[in-house]
Amino acid sequence: MAHPFETLTPDLVLDAVESIGFLSDARILALNSYENRVYQVGIEDSEPLIAKFYRPQRWTNEAILEEHQFTFELADVEIPVVAPLVHNGQTLHEHAGFRFTLFPRRGGRAPEPGNLDQLYRLGQLLGRMHAVGGTKPFEHREALAVQNFGHASLSTLLEGNFIPKSLLPAYESVARDLLKRVEDVYAATPHQNIRMHGDCHPGNMMCRDEMFHIVDLDDCRMGPAVQDIWMMLAGDRQDCLGQLSELMDGYNEFHDFDPRELALIEPLRALRLMHYSAWLARRWDDPAFPRSFPWFGSERYWGDQVLALREQLAALNEEPLKLF
């Protein structure tokens, strides 16, 4: 059976954009996106638009609109974020069975790893975002938790027979040990779930004209604030301590960070490792994934994963990062 995205042809993309009143110049460029499909579409006598087609059956309409609403709340207090376009009073549109949203084109470059001046400004931006995120909860979007990012990920991998038999005992053993340790740290660490970005890697904090802006809130969810912070850090422990200090100096100007949450950095990293493998497994019926990730399923990949989880288990037994 063909995957739904197989029917999302360039003509259908252009038809969708024109179905809500825009006149395309027929220029279309596919952008780098796997979870959804994203295209730059040329518009007659105007700037190109970005058309995002949502993966079928991933989010409910209510969850997508909740993401849009969060984006507008950020924009309303002048936080630089790429917000969806409102057209005919709507942000979520449908054409030929696909739901889609249009965005203005906003280019930029990712932050430089370890750049302390940039980290200070990124901390300010994250603090402003979390100040808004902490005002109320999401109602239709799931929270980041050990169960859905950890245990459910392991179940997906085991039940789908994605792990080579030669490495299955080793992977399952270290994964279960890791999840038990993650649960223990979570239970012992006070933290508060807020609305946060959820996938705040440097590529989603773009710089243009010396100003950073937030992009791609598709994975926004409830979770601890530190989830949006730890992916900004790079290098060894000493490097991360200096970077963390700059981030927090900027962050705390706008929102109070609970330093006890720093103990969750390594548990969250562990959950991200497992969730990534499970994400590839869950999307394997999408033809784009075997083409783009041909190494998934190889013994080398899973051998590397066993090693990565063992290293992560060791990291969980080290002293967490601290603010000084």
| CATH number of the structural domain spanning residue 70 | 3.30.200.20
Catalytic residues: 199, 216
Burial of 74 (0-12, 13-18, 19+ CB in 10 A): buried
- Same domain for 92 and 197, yes or no, is no
Whether the pLDDT of residue 16 is over 80: the answer is yes
CA dihedral of 16, 20, 23, 25, whole degrees rounded to 10: -20
pLDDT tens-digit series, residues 213-270: 999 999 999 999 999 999 999 999 999 999 999 999 999 999 999 999 999 999 999 9
* CA 110 – CA 244 distance, rounded (Å): 18
pLDDT at 113: 87
Whether residue 216 lies inside any domain: the answer is: yes
Asked whether residue 184 is marked as a ligand-binding residue, the answer is no
Q: Helix (H, G, I), strand (E, B), or coil: what is residue 81?
A: strand
204 assigned binding-site residue: yes
Q: Quick one: CA dihedral 284, 290, 291, 296, positive or negative?
A: positive
Task: Identify whether 176 is part of a domain.
Answer: yes
110 lies in some domain: no
User: Per-residue pLDDT tens for 59-95?
Assistant: 999 999 999 999 999 999 999 999 999 999 999 999 9
45 φ/ψ angles, rounded to the nearest 5 degrees: 55, 35
Range of the domain at 76: 26-104
Are 66 and 135 contained in the same domain?
A: no
> Quick one: 174 and 275 in the same domain?
yes
Structurally, how many domains does the chain consist of?
2
Q: Which of 72, 104, 136 is the last residue of a domain?
A: 104
Residue pair 183/212 in contact (Cβ under 8 Å)? The answer is no
Rounded to two decimals, the pTM is: 0.94
